[in-house]
Chain A
């Protein structure tokens, strides 16, 4: 008997350790609370499993058939037992329901003073916009120790914003706004996944949450995002900009092959026949129009494709033009 207590303590704490192992890093206190809940669920489940399946295995071995004429007792039911093993699970279920509710309520109680960021899901990237006007794609920088509220929508189909480290997730819906909030305890970089099937590149619609100190955040917010391109020539800037904004999800940038949309490699000067019957050439104006009004002049070969309006400023457009020109010199 005495040996059982340390045995079970070890077993159950290893289950809790397993829960920590099986979960991503705890990005904040809320994540730790969810993990505690999961640890509890795992322990109760393991206990029930051992009881039920252990009992099952014990019975089938102990009561293995000895002769073909074995008699068995006629035990039709036992009301006390039935009641107990209905009521006790019911109590456990109610307990975990309430615990889950409590945490969910916390997750939905958006703090009044939360720092708001707008997030947009699109096929196949995440864009972020800050109230200062700062925009970014694929990377959301936030200050540590402050509640952050995301106001989210989609430009096209359903997506879902999932930050495993914070144990939070929320679908983003075209035509509606949904919200999410978190407060990061420590600096670091956390993975974001899209968690609602949205087509071809659903698996690679990654983003990162970068949690930094307040000063670093303010520096970043005020900084010119164009600085990331310092030291590169215009064509290289164009390639980098397109990759950052996720253009390569639908267009091959470095080879001449069709994807969801036409390749952008070596296309400067190419002829195009448009859906409305007219035709033209891929020049500076056409490239710019294709970005600013994506579906205005579609090539007949891509009639059914729909391109999203992606935030690109004038300087970035000129880099993209230079990149496409540079690959077309041959």
Chain B
């Protein structure tokens, strides 16, 4: 039994107790600090890029911009959006959601955080030794000729282990540590989302590992696998790379969708519409995601037959995604809607992700993709789904679970103002990019023809707006952690297990192991 006032935050004191912790909640918080820090660094690069693109004439040297573009992508992909939901939010909340005391392998969990940090350090080191400018996709043969590549991919290799270990941990946790009475169909949808994500993390990331190893070997040894001068096939690299990187984007979006399910149901005080459909859609998306990688390569020189097959299967993966969206909207029907910040972010997600999703279908249409590929249209699409989708969901999840994490309430007005800046700024930044792309402006350009100027300027102004929004958000979160008023156990009236325990929870999560007798969203009964 724990003493009153004792929780996981004051359970032990001192930096060392954090760096050697085995508590999933502390590890989640450590991931939070890491991910937020990396996000701001990646964000600074983004702002500098948009500053350069404000005018058609270049501000920075070409290679400076090209490196910024590369690091922005690599940081956001490997250090923010992939770990963002599973490793940060997932680590904190998964055991609580299933009524467990911790994840299956706490030491492996801690190791996964160190993998992220060490990998990130290695990747950042390249900034000082040899700036990499290949783009985060490292296409060959240019990446073979570039100096910092080996170190950068070594960093990504190590960070990949962070993802694999998190996924492994979650699969075993979900199978083995659910509270008594919680069968698979009584799990919250966030758990289904984390489970589907974990499957992808475990099966896809190893292929990235070997791809990066082969790239490093090509550069160091001259294997001849990707370098045409040695008999290799540069397009082969793209196949290997996207075999991981396409499923990776579902690592990015599936857990975010899990958060949205939680938010919509809690803030509508209504049971989720189509629980099984959403659960099975998550697994379905994870499974099908392995078979669509070639839609990144319609113009790369792959065969016509391959292109047609990949286009077709990509259409299939759109169906479960659409199903989820309709189910969420249907949940709102006759609900009791409360416009707190987490809900605003969930609704913002629906708005922005729908745009991202329909433009994804457009890109899956081969003839359209031939025109849009490698233009700003694609840049707009993936920012709509990754930022408008995943990042919005992360923000929603942060405000939703912040009271549980720290036992303090955040300032609602501040959070709403932050949301407004982010939501509006986001659209101002990225919607013009659809036009820039369809109009023909290619991506990864540090300067452009004068006819693209006005849209670029609008986009850059938007980026400053988002920047302000996130700074305000950071302020709200820091203020909450330091000076927020005390939060109750269940500020939102949520029905999932984490709301039955203290805010912040005790070290063991629950005083006694909960016994589950009903589904996770039994409102209205």
Contacts and interface: CB of A to CB of B under 8 A. Distances in A.
Is A–B contact present in the complex under a CB 8 A cutoff?
yes
B62 A59 contact: no
Interface in A55-113: 55-56, 59-60, 63-66, 70-78, 81-82, 85-86, 89-90, 93-94, 96-97, 99-105, 107-108
A52 B141 contact: no
Given A174-B234, A194-B442, A199-B133, A72 B268 contact: yes
The B interface, classified by DSSP as helix, strand, loop or mixed, is helix
Given A82-B277, A103-B367, 4 more contacts: A52-B329, A60-B337, A72-B269, A73-B524
Interface string B266-288: 00111101111100000000000
Interface stretch (A33-41, A141-149, A227-235, A266-274): A33-41
Interface residues of A, number: 80
A164 B444 contact: no
A87 to B, nearest CB: 9
A90 B269 CA distance: 31
Of A24, A55, A157, A178, chain B has the most CB atoms within 10 Å of the CB of: A157
Interface stretch (A2-10, A165-173, A288-296): A165-173
Interface in A31-55: 34, 37-38, 41, 44-45, 48-49, 52-53, 55
B62 A90 contact: no
B228 A85 contact: no
Contacts, number: 258
Contact of A77 (B275, B304, B318, B354): B275
A86 B315 CA distance: 12
Given A41-B362, A52-B350, A201 B332 contact: no
B307 interface: yes
A196 B374 contact: yes
Interface in A148-166: 156-158, 160, 162, 164
Contacts of B361: 41, 45, 93, 96
17 contacts: A24-B439, A38-B438, A65-B269, A66-B336, A72-B335, A72-B336, A74-B524, A75-B273, A86-B322, A89-B322, A99-B367, A100-B366, A101-B308, A101-B311, A158-B142, A169-B299, A173-B234
Contacts of A66: 336
Contacts of B366: 100-101, 103-104
Of A19, A60, A199, A201, chain B has the most CB atoms within 10 Å of the CB of: A60
The 7 closest A-B pairs by CB, nearest first: A175-B228, A164-B440, A100-B365, A103-B367, A70-B336, A45-B358, A203-B445
A291 B112 CA distance: 53
Contacts of A326: none
A105 B304 contact: yes
B349 to A, nearest CB: 11
Of A38, A174, A197, A199, chain B has the most CB atoms within 10 Å of the CB of: A197
Nearest to B525: A74
Contact of A196 (B139, B337, B362): B139
Nearest to B523: A72
Contacts of B447: 203-204
Interface string B328-351: 011011111111000000010011
A170 B337 CA distance: 50
Given A65-B269, A157-B145, A74 B234 contact: no
Contact of A197 (B142, B233, B375, B524): B142
Of B134, B139, B273, B299, chain A has the most CB atoms within 10 Å of the CB of: B299
A187 B363 CA distance: 30
Contacts of A134: none
Contacts of A195: 373-375, 442
A200 interface: yes
